[in-house]
Amino acid sequence: MNQITVYMLMLICALVVAGFVYNRSQALTKFRQMRAEAGGKLELSSWHSQASYHGYFTGWLVIFVTFTVFIAGLLLGAQSGGGVIPWVAVMIIAGVGTIFLCGKKISGGFRARTYVERFVHGLLIVLSIIAVLTTLGIILSLLFESLRFFKSVPFMDFLFGFQWSPQTALRADQVGQSGSFGAIPVFAGTFLIMLVAMAIAGPIGLMIAIYLTEYASAGVRKWVKPAIEILAGVPTVVYGFFALLTFAPFVRGFAESFGFSVPTQSALAAGVVMGVMIIPFVSSLSSDVINAVPQTLRDGAFALGATESETMKQVVFTAALPGIIGAFMLAISRAIGETMIVYMAAGKAANLTANPFEAVTTVTVQIVALLTGDSDFDSPKTLVAFALGLVLFVITLLLNVVALTVVRRYRAKY
């Protein structure tokens, strides 16, 4: 079946190309013929469209016709059971017929270009609507599955419950087999790791942005900027492995040298590594905003005798503040949604704690942990992952929309 599909698509392509080439040459022949009849004095402008547009027009129509046949074959072919051959025949007849009908249409007055441009236009609209459809798909699928979850677990118990142990539902007859789905410890863990990450990425990213835009020489900037951007290009699973293999044991050893006993998986290890990952994100967004602050403001401050750091702190920073807040919000949204680092380094047990040296869990970790095991799709244990996903999506959506609006409005101001 699969191979047949591929052959059918190849047949469609062949028909389209043949239609294009044939009718383009038809149009050229017709034009030359008419010119010869007019004694070589035919005005170019008496033909509305170039020959290739007649070809494109044919190609588009052939695509529509053959695809209709193709889809009809996919839908009906399985029921009629007559095999593939009749459908191939129908497709070839329809395609070749279209080519000849279009060929008949070719004349100086036929506005092939207008039609082709309308096709292209329609196609572009369809392509850009895919973005809306994707968002819609996300919202609908998350809502649909979450609602099924909220049928068995009340919404308020989920959002404000303090007990998170969905893993208990191993056997139907087990005590407490329903599991408990109070997500507060999960949210708290997410928030704690986000705080640790932002405590690293916020100040360091901002200082890098300030240093590179205001202090560094062009030579330094040329080398340091791409180097820092490498940090953004490293896949998160690599950071996760680094946290697991190198950084978490380092944190533990460091804490043990002060006499503390710390588990290998800790909010601190995951948070710091995540912070490093977000640094380039904060620094590049912030330097965009800082660069957008007009030079006249700086010159004014310098003229009043301010030093560079005073200008930065009191003038540029203040002016750039909304944009910087926007950048931080985007960074927070990224920290909340980050998955691999926390899955590998932060742990899966839900602890309600503010101590960064303890293992905590996050929304994304729970989604992965609940959905990667093989379990049936109707238990609350798997459906709760979609409820968590919905919360994640709503929060990041709010952060993104507010931040994007702030950043855009701010850029427009200067």
Binding to other proteins, residues 188-207 (CB under 8 A): 203-205, 207
Binding-residue pattern over the window 209 to 248 for other proteins, x denoting contact by CB under 8 A: -xxx--xx-------x--xx-xx-xxxxxxxxxx-xxx--
Least distance CB 278 / other proteins (angstroms): 11
Q: Which of positions 250-269 make contact with other proteins (CB under 8 A)?
A: none
Nearer residue to other proteins within complex by CB, 304 or 354: 304
Q: Contact at 8 Å (CB) between 238 and 273?
A: no
Least distance CB 121 / other proteins (angstroms): 6
Of the candidates 280, 222, 273, 229, the residue with the CA atom closest to the CA atom of residue 247: 273
Query: Which of 40, 75, 377, 412 lies at the binding interface for other proteins (CB under 8 A)?
Result: 377
**Phi, psi (5° rounding) for residue 260?**
-95, 150
Nearer residue to other proteins within complex by CB, 56 or 99: 56
Residue type at position 314: Q
Least distance CB 174 / other proteins (angstroms): 26
Q: Contact at 8 Å (CB) between 280 and 250?
A: no
| 3-state class (DSSP) for residue 164 | strand
Residue type at position 242: F
Q: Which of positions 7-46 make contact with other proteins (CB under 8 A)?
A: none
Query: Which of 57, 164, 386, 410 lies at the binding interface for other proteins (CB under 8 A)?
Result: 386
Nearer residue to other proteins within complex by CB, 99 or 334: 334
Of the candidates 23, 30, 6, the residue with the CA atom closest to the CA atom of residue 96: 23
Residue 358 is a binding residue for other proteins (CB under 8 A) = no
Residue 74 is a binding residue for other proteins (CB under 8 A) = no
Question: Rounded to whole angstroms, how far apart are CA atoms 135 and 301?
Answer: 46
Query: Which of 46, 71, 76, 121 lies at the binding interface for other proteins (CB under 8 A)?
Result: 121
Nearer residue to other proteins within complex by CB, 173 or 374: 374
Window of 90-98, 159-167, 291-299, 367-375 that interacts with other proteins by CB under 8 A: 367-375
What Å distances lie between residue 64 and 43, 120, 231, 368, CA to CA?
Answer: 34, 13, 46, 42
**Total residues belonging to the chain:** 414
Q: Which of positions 289-348 make contact with other proteins (CB under 8 A)?
A: 307-310, 312-313, 330, 333-334, 336-340, 343-344
Q: Contact at 8 Å (CB) between 100 and 52?
A: no
Residue 80 is a binding residue for other proteins (CB under 8 A) = no
Strand partners, 180: 165
Binding-residue pattern over the window 125 to 154 for other proteins, x denoting contact by CB under 8 A: x-xxxxxx-xx-xx--xx-xx---------
HEC assignment per residue over 200-258: HHHHHHHHHHHHHHHHCCHHHHHHHHHHHHHHHHCCHHHHHHHHHHHHHHHHHHHHHCC
Least distance CB 330 / other proteins (angstroms): 6
Least distance CB 96 / other proteins (angstroms): 27
Q: What phi-psi label fits residue 40: left (phi over 0), alpha (psi between -120 and 50 degrees) or beta?
A: left
Return the axis-axis angle of helices 317-337 and 267-292, rounded to nearest 10°: 140
Window of 19-27, 66-74, 112-120, 175-183 that interacts with other proteins by CB under 8 A: 112-120
Please give the size of the binding site for other proteins, defined by CB under 8 A: 86
